[in-house]
Structure 1
Amino acid sequence: MNSATLNPDTLHSNCCGTAPLTARLEPWMIEAVSSSANQRLQSAVREFGSPINLLNSEPMLRNIDELNAVADARQVPFRVFFARKANKCLTFVDAAAEAGAGIDVASEEELRQVVERGVAGDSIICTAAIKTQSLLAACIQHNVTIAIDNDDELATVAQLVEACSIPAVSLAIRVSGFRHDGQKLFSRFGFDFDDVLPLINSRWPAALDDVARVTGLHFHLDGYCANQRISAIQQSLRLVPKLRQLGHEVQFLDIGGGIPMSYLDDEQQWLAFWEQLEHSLREPQTEPITFRRHGLGLQSIDGQLRGKPNVYPFYQSPTRADWFAKILDAPCDDQFSIAAAIRQQHLELRCEPGRSILDGCGMTVARVEFCKQHHSGDWFIGLAMNRTQCRTSSDDFLVDPIVLRNSEPSTEDPETSIEGYLVGAYCTESELLSLRKLKFPNGIGVGDLVVFPNTAGYLMHFLESRSHQFPLAMNLVALSGEVPRFYVDAIDRSE
């Protein structure tokens, strides 16, 4: 074992992109891949198979506190609801509850598991894109707030209420179609803004008159634009008094997720990567930096680049606290700040972050099973995992992995340094774990471990698949210490 490469200052020396994108690492991550812990990590992979997901909830508590501090400084009643769909592991449900956060569930099974962890119904909101009758019945049974998306959902709730004696049902109307910069913001979720009052006035099911309360407004916006959120909040606040006049005691405004985070500390690396990728696409005679010159959403047509990046903005600013502060400090109707307007209307502000409060909470570790040189000269490094185990809907995960050597590189090998691509286990030509070309200055070989940093938010579980009958990755909680210890998360113990 070459312990020098595991020093925090040189941790990235075994692997980097041909255009480097160096991950920001948490202290527990550095401990988990340190020289003293490497054999324990190797043992865990042997015991549980490859890949494994490593989890640590300490950064989650810090991230929730960061948002709470912004709201507290402005005296805004506020509560975070953890978007459970971002990661299935129950250690994060427990941590969120410990921090006083609520839980946002997106399925009946998520709801069942959260209730079994002792989370009260009034600390849960259901925002599932598809709400079956049984899911809605479970929400009603456990007094969970339901984010109503359409007339059919509302009709199903009415049918369930008629079928049994229910004292009260808590509903949040999901709103879309906000106007921003002269256009309507698109979302497939919710009622159009202009249709909310007609819904309450003329289409409200009679069966709900005495039991259903619209306790909140809710919206979902794609992307991370603070100004779009400001527009949506301003318009939502104008709806609140109108709904109260119609007899609904609106208590909260929920702005959904989309709170930005940054995987990288170095903006210049991010800019340099895109500059090199664009040059590679425009000049096909140059060395590619992605597999077969994949444009990650960009295309070169007659020397001109078309399209837009189809990846998460792995470097962005502002993030989390500064982004949230910008929203709360924005003007509302030229009289108040948004924070003051929320206070004046006696509302609780809510949000449903997933990725941003799981920032720093996980890593995915896979074992190298082969290295082979392609006729192009590039190397393919095969890992015992598939691309659904570290991917969302983006084209690629643009963060350099960490390589932990299982043994010293051979001094007899004149070509220790190689460049190539990480490939996965699915039997398709497109099974690339990373589309970027990577450098391995100290070589890489069978038995080495490849660590993907900061994967807890969406990357571990959102698309994971058992195709080819491969088992799903085991999820291990990493306890910090001089020699980190791992235990199996309850989600895997309960299955």
Structure 2
Amino acid sequence: MFQKYFSDEPRPLLSDWTVDLLNSRSELAAWVDGFGSPLHVVYPDQATENYLQWLNELRTVYGDCQVQFALKACKSASLLRAFALVGAGADVSSAHEMASAFMNLVPAERMSMTGPAKSDYELNLCILHKVAIHIDCIEELNRVLALADGVGGISRLFLRARPITEPGSRFGMTEDQLMACLMLLENTKVDRVGVSFHLNDYQVHTRADQLRFCIAFLRRVCAKCLTPGGIDIGGGYPMRYVQRFDPVAYGQGVHWGNVAKPGNYPYVPELTGAQHAAAVIQTALADPGDRDFLYGHQLPILLQPGRSLLDQCGVSAFHVTDVKDLGDRRFGVVLDGMSFSLSETWFGADFVPSPVVVWREEREVPRYDATYFLVGRSCLESDIIRRRGLTIKGGIARGDLVVFANTAGYQMDSNESSFHQIPSPKKIAAVRRRCGWKILADETLNKQGLPRNDRQ
């Protein structure tokens, strides 16, 4: 193995394909040389595997669970198409995301428009194509009904409930507001009325409580002689990035500006992804009467994971431009890229999992017993890619690659910027075959279709 972990914890969990790629030192370096730095590499086969694992896990606790990939988590066309080809739906929040979903084979019946601030144009698209519309407030419902009046009605609406645990949230509606919506819908032509929510914590019991509230609300939908349309329990299911993480030890390291910023993400949750989601549903449906109600009305439970559905689906590789002596055995590792390309900075935090250094065959004499800070190439003092100082046996040298694993979920996309008029990083899709790696530009893959992983 040519790659070397930074000696400090926490070390990232790596999939088999990521280990193979890191061991293909010259191949990865050639891709970065050819496509530019930073380079995002995505792996569609992992997306397929993840979706099927999610579906199998969920259907052990409830037979009609439907998974819709949250497009906001990653803009990769190849990952979206991989999900669509095995049956996933799409959670979209704009006309552009809807167009991307259509272009990558997601049918309208598997799509939901969940954005809380939709234009009339976006609402018209949903009405005409029969895409499910999530209603954030009664004012939006009035707009939808006015727009639908001339086209014969609406296919599917989901009324967004304000979380019980977040009464001050600006999103969703209170119970009284939800009931006011039902009164408006009594005399309109709506095929199905569902209910949805999205929570900002990672607790099984809070989501289960909210799901039980939604079941009770759908009983009231039935009492109004409206046809219930299911429950959307949103996204936000935690995923595991590292095997172990000690926030206290992390904070005791050497940090840029002497300020530790590990963030609030649960990097080592007890339950992850589909297991967490299944625990929510199983807990909520402990009452047989609630389960019978859902089955009796053939009501689906929809889930919209983003980050956790993208577990191990991508890596981000940065070229080391220079290693700058800052004094006192501190060195600034200048990467050919900016902190915008590793989006945990969006939340004012480090991306905690340690990156991996891939050495070039010819490299300068490394510096030992030093602390390295990863910094971006821009003119901003705040352009720090990882604030925690790093130590590594063998050092870091100009020309090396610094690779962050498991970056497909939000890291490689959410905070892009063409600051200094530098283009946003490219993505390529990689497929393993018996004879080696096959790669395509992500946007090219969008047109040509996914290559089969036939190991040839």
TM-score by length of 2: 0.91
1:365 aligns with 2:317: yes
- Any idea what the Cα deviations from partners look like across 1:100-133, whole Å, max 9, x if unmatched? 1111111111111211223211110011132111
Indicate the SS of the match to 2:97: helix
Cα distance change on mapping 1:463 and 1:76 into 2, 3 Å? same
- Which residue of structure 1 lines up, in the alignment, with residue 180 of structure 2? 198
Cα distance change on mapping 1:372 and 1:68 into 2, 3 Å? same
Question: What is the aligned counterpart of 1:227 among 205, 209, 227?
Answer: 205
Distance in 2 between residues matched to 1:276 and 1:370, nearest whole Å: 29
Cα distance change on mapping 1:44 and 1:312 into 2, 3 Å? same
Distance in 2 between residues matched to 1:76 and 1:376, nearest whole Å: 61
Cα distance change on mapping 1:338 and 1:23 into 2, 3 Å? farther
Question: What is the aligned counterpart of 2:305 among 340, 347, 353?
Answer: 353
Question: What is the aligned counterpart of 2:380 among 396, 420, 428?
Answer: 428
Deviates more, 1:378-387 or 1:389-398: 389-398
Question: What is the aligned counterpart of 2:75 among 88, 91, 98?
Answer: 88
Distance in 2 between residues matched to 1:147 and 1:380, nearest whole Å: 47
1:211 aligns with 2:189: yes
- Which residue of structure 2 lines up, in the alignment, with residue 253 of structure 1? 231
Distance in 2 between residues matched to 1:361 and 1:154, nearest whole Å: 37
Q: Any residues of structure 2 matched to 1:116-195 within 5 Å, and which?
A: 116-162=103-149, 164-178=150-164, 184=166, 186-195=168-177
Cα distance change on mapping 1:186 and 1:56 into 2, 3 Å? farther
Distance in 1 between residues matched to 2:292 and 2:418, nearest whole Å: 49
- Any idea what the Cα deviations from partners look like across 1:285-326, whole Å, max 9, x if unmatched? xxx422122132xxxxxxxxxxxx633121211112332332
Distance in 2 between residues matched to 1:31 and 1:337, nearest whole Å: 50
Question: What is the aligned counterpart of 1:275 among 248, 266, 269?
Answer: 248
Deviates more, 1:210-219 or 1:134-143: 210-219
- Which residue of structure 1 lines up, in the alignment, with residue 400 of structure 2? 448
- Which residue of structure 1 lines up, in the alignment, with residue 450 of structure 2? none
Q: CA deviation at 1:477?
A: 0.2
Identical residues among aligned pairs (%): 25
Q: Which amino acid aligns with 1:192?
A: T
1:113 aligns with 2:67: no
The answer (yes or no) to whether the contact 2:84–2:104 under 8 Å persists in 1 is: no
TM-score by length of 1: 0.84
- Which residue of structure 1 lines up, in the alignment, with residue 15 of structure 2? 26
Indicate the SS of the match to 2:228: coil
- Which residue of structure 2 lines up, in the alignment, with residue 469 of structure 1? 421
Distance in 2 between residues matched to 1:223 and 1:465, nearest whole Å: 28
Q: Which amino acid aligns with 2:215?
A: L
- Which residue of structure 2 lines up, in the alignment, with residue 57 of structure 1? 44
Name the count of aligned residue pairs. Answer: 444
- Which residue of structure 1 lines up, in the alignment, with residue 60 of structure 2? 73
Distance in 2 between residues matched to 1:186 and 1:493, nearest whole Å: 41
- Which residue of structure 2 lines up, in the alignment, with residue 294 of structure 1? 259
Distance in 1 between residues matched to 2:205 and 2:147, nearest whole Å: 39
- Which residue of structure 1 lines up, in the alignment, with residue 2 of structure 2? 5
The answer (yes or no) to whether the contact 1:150–1:190 under 8 Å persists in 2 is: yes
Indicate the SS of the match to 2:161: strand
Q: Which amino acid aligns with 1:174?
A: R
1:486 aligns with 2:451: no
The answer (yes or no) to whether the contact 1:155–1:205 under 8 Å persists in 2 is: no
Deviates more, 1:151-160 or 1:394-403: 151-160
Q: Which amino acid aligns with 1:169?
A: S
Cα distance change on mapping 1:325 and 1:160 into 2, 3 Å? closer
Distance in 1 between residues matched to 2:273 and 2:413, nearest whole Å: 23
Deviates more, 1:132-141 or 1:476-485: 476-485
Distance in 1 between residues matched to 2:392 and 2:41, nearest whole Å: 23
- Which residue of structure 2 lines up, in the alignment, with residue 401 of structure 1? 355
Distance in 2 between residues matched to 1:76 and 1:345, nearest whole Å: 13
- Any idea what the Cα deviations from partners look like across 1:184-243, whole Å, max 9, x if unmatched? 555332112332112222xx279xx44334431110100211111011011111000111
Cα distance change on mapping 1:451 and 1:340 into 2, 3 Å? farther
Indicate the SS of the match to 2:112: strand
Distance in 2 between residues matched to 1:167 and 1:405, nearest whole Å: 61
Q: CA deviation at 1:97?
A: 1.3
Q: Any residues of structure 2 matched to 1:93-104 within 5 Å, and which?
A: 93-104=80-91
The answer (yes or no) to whether the contact 1:409–1:443 under 8 Å persists in 2 is: no
Indicate the SS of the match to 2:384: coil
The answer (yes or no) to whether the contact 1:330–1:338 under 8 Å persists in 2 is: no
Query: Structure 1 regions of 5+ residues with no counterpart?
Result: 281-287, 297-308
Q: CA deviation at 1:389?
A: 0.8
Q: Which amino acid aligns with 2:179?
A: L
Indicate the SS of the match to 2:436: coil
